[in-house]
Structure 1
Amino acid sequence: MRVYNDLKNISVSKPVVTIGTFDGVHLGHHKVLDKLKDIAGETGGESVVFTFYPHPRQVLTPDEHNLRLLTTLEEKIELLDQAGIDHLVIYPFTLEFAKLSYSEFVKSVLVDQIHTSTLVVGYDHRFGKNREGSYDDLKKCADLYGFDIVKLDVLLENEVNISSTRIRNALESGDIRQATRYLGYHYTLHGRVVEGQQLGRTIGFPTANIESSEVHKLIPGYGVYAVFALIEGVRYKGMMNIGTRPTFNNNADKRSIEVNLFDFEGHLYGSGITLVFVDKIRDERKFPDKDALVRQLYLDREQSNRILDAEQTA
């Protein structure tokens, strides 16, 4: 897959194009991507995904602090590459670009620079300034400039519309299994191991404290999770707590992300780590004393091992 950060040197044969943020590159997106590739194959063309960076909301509402993304830019590139896309345009989203009307965008970008042969859009696609351009508007542009347009229906999973918003809601509520079904892969979180209070070490469950590498990356809801951890190409089983450690902290107001790795010895401070979410074990809760917490952690570890062993043999 060729990746472009502008349109200066793009050269595509019979471009079959789709446009969107593609956050998560989930199964709903794959319906669009598969159609893109099918048409490219039938017409002797090449598939093109046109996306934006940064996310439009980061530019249009910079003071908004609740933007939560399913994928970093690097993850999105990797997932689209795995999907078999020929060309990826990561177009700089600026206030100036946001002012383009739908007709200006079609003429200046899709027609004059990419030379679009076919445009593939989802069931609810809108574009241009203030999202004012509808499918009917696009159809008129297609007729005017001589390119084809294909509109896809919504992708349903058991009569449920698969969307990035639905996946975010599942992750925030801790429903990892549902998020995995809709994504088509396990949700991941990349970060770096930072120094913590080392409280876990005092009770026989040492933990690595994780700092997410992307400020807008969605962190699943508070609770204990069965996870795989990837460190320098090696995969370890583990269990992770996301929350405020209420048993040790009576005035908790800051979220922490801590993972206890099974069968790992060594120092991790400063190391990069990728956490792969498999399932939620339980909600975070406050225990009456340290001994009660330790008893529960042994149970959590047993359950995590069962879940992860089953996942490895699935």
Structure 2
Amino acid sequence: MEYIWNTTDFKLSNTAVSLGKFDGFHIGHRLLIDYVTSLKRNGLTAVTFTFFVHPKNLIKEQSIELIYTEEEKCLRASRLGTDILVSYPFHTEIMNMEPEDFAKEVIVKKLDAKVVVVGKDFCFGKKRSGNVSMLKAFGEKYGFEVVAFEKVLMDGEEVSSTRIRKNILNGNIELVNKMLGENYSVSGEVIYGNQLGRTMGIPTANFLPAQDKLLPPNGVYATKVRVDDEEYRAVTNVGNKPTVGEKNCKGVETYIFDFTQNLYGKNISVDFYTFVRGEKKFDSIEALKDQIELDCNFVKEYFKGETNSSV
């Protein structure tokens, strides 16, 4: 997959384009992308178009934690069959572009779109003044077809990135996974921790996720860890970790069952399945070790029926 990011200096040809923020790549987004990739059989190049900076970051001048980082978005777009992912720069000039100018300058001139696929609530241009009806009118004027999908509902509510974000923060991982259409995951490079787990005979892999990555509440989770295209069952803790300058930031610490490889310096990805328990303070190392054993037993029971630790 080709990745074009943070630049307006490109020109594609003969494309089918899914347009949106795609900060969740949830099951609603996948309908758009699947439709676009299906048009490859008609000779069109499948393009997913999103923005390099989450629009709310600029508009509200505050940091928005992301369901997927840029690297994670690239991975998912590629898995879904996208030929080209465009992560377009979102700055003041773009934000103030009139809807027709966006259609003419970006959709037509830069993307050369023959088909544009959006959600029914898609808005674009200055002050979000452009809507689907306007986009269809521009399509008739400039020669591209517009396909608009209805919102996907789950349990009577719309599936949206906002809803997913709220449920991640509440630790409702199983619902999050249903809305995403895959397991919510966190990735990073394994670093040295305080080695406490190793002294207890329970060595763990530690990493610090990207600063803009949205993380669930501190606590313990049933997870699977992906290492070099292999997947292993694990129990994972999300919690504050001491870093340089004695400041705390959220980190991920995971104990992989029946695993002896050296992971330091490797990038791993942790898929979350369900919440096990919240954070606890322990009076002794022995009490901590006993709790970890209970956590491991819970997770093994959760994955009961899988014959191997790697799948």
* Residue 178 (str. 1) matches residue 204 (str. 2): no
For 1:51-200, what aligned pairs fall within 5 Å after superposition? Answer: 51-62=50-61, 64-65=62-63, 67-200=64-197
Secondary structure of residue in 1 paired with 2:220: strand
The residue aligned with 1:47 is: 46
| Rounded Cα–Cα distance in structure 2 between residues aligned with 1:312 and 1:168 | 33
Secondary structure of residue in 2 paired with 1:282: strand
Gaps of 5+ in 2: 242-246
Native 8 Å contact 2:11 2:109 kept in 1:
no
Identity over aligned pairs, percent: 34
Q: Which of 218, 225, 231 matches 1:222?
A: 218
Q: Give the residue type in structure 2 aligned to 1:19.
A: L
Q: Which of 284, 288, 292 matches 1:293?
A: 288
The residue aligned with 1:263 is: 258
| Rounded Cα–Cα distance in structure 2 between residues aligned with 1:207 and 1:127 | 46
Native 8 Å contact 1:193 1:208 kept in 2:
yes
1:107 Cα offset (Å): 1.4
Q: Give the residue type in structure 1 aligned to 2:24.
A: G
| Rounded Cα–Cα distance in structure 2 between residues aligned with 1:88 and 1:305 | 38
Cα distance change, pair 130–229 in 1 and its aligned pair in 2 (3 A): same
Note the alpha carbon deviations across 1:42-65, whole angstroms, 9 max, x for none: x65343221121333344445x23
Cα distance change, pair 151–211 in 1 and its aligned pair in 2 (3 A): same
Q: Give the residue type in structure 1 aligned to 2:265.
A: G
| Rounded Cα–Cα distance in structure 2 between residues aligned with 1:97 and 1:148 | 23
Q: Comparing 259-268 with 116-125, which one deviates more in the overlay?
A: 259-268
Q: Comparing 134-143 with 293-302, which one deviates more in the overlay?
A: 134-143
1:122 Cα offset (Å): 0.2
The residue aligned with 1:12 is: 13
Q: Give the residue type in structure 2 aligned to 1:30.
A: R
Gaps of 5+ in 1: 246-251
The residue aligned with 1:272 is: 267
Q: Give the residue type in structure 1 aligned to 2:16.
A: V
Q: CA RMSD, aligned part only? A: 2.9
| Rounded Cα–Cα distance in structure 2 between residues aligned with 1:90 and 1:255 | 27
Secondary structure of residue in 1 paired with 2:178: helix
Cα distance change, pair 111–241 in 1 and its aligned pair in 2 (3 A): same
The residue aligned with 1:239 is: 235
Q: Give the residue type in structure 1 aligned to 2:279.
A: E
Native 8 Å contact 2:12 2:112 kept in 1:
no
Secondary structure of residue in 1 paired with 2:101: helix
Q: Give the residue type in structure 2 aligned to 1:154.
A: K
Q: Give the residue type in structure 1 aligned to 2:85.
A: L
1:242 Cα offset (Å): 1.3
The residue aligned with 2:244 is: none
Cα distance change, pair 200–153 in 1 and its aligned pair in 2 (3 A): same
Structure 1 runs of 4+ with >6 Å offset? none
Secondary structure of residue in 2 paired with 1:112: helix
| Rounded Cα–Cα distance in structure 2 between residues aligned with 1:192 and 1:294 | 26
| Rounded Cα–Cα distance in structure 2 between residues aligned with 1:51 and 1:312 | 41
Secondary structure of residue in 2 paired with 1:194: coil
Cα distance change, pair 96–201 in 1 and its aligned pair in 2 (3 A): same
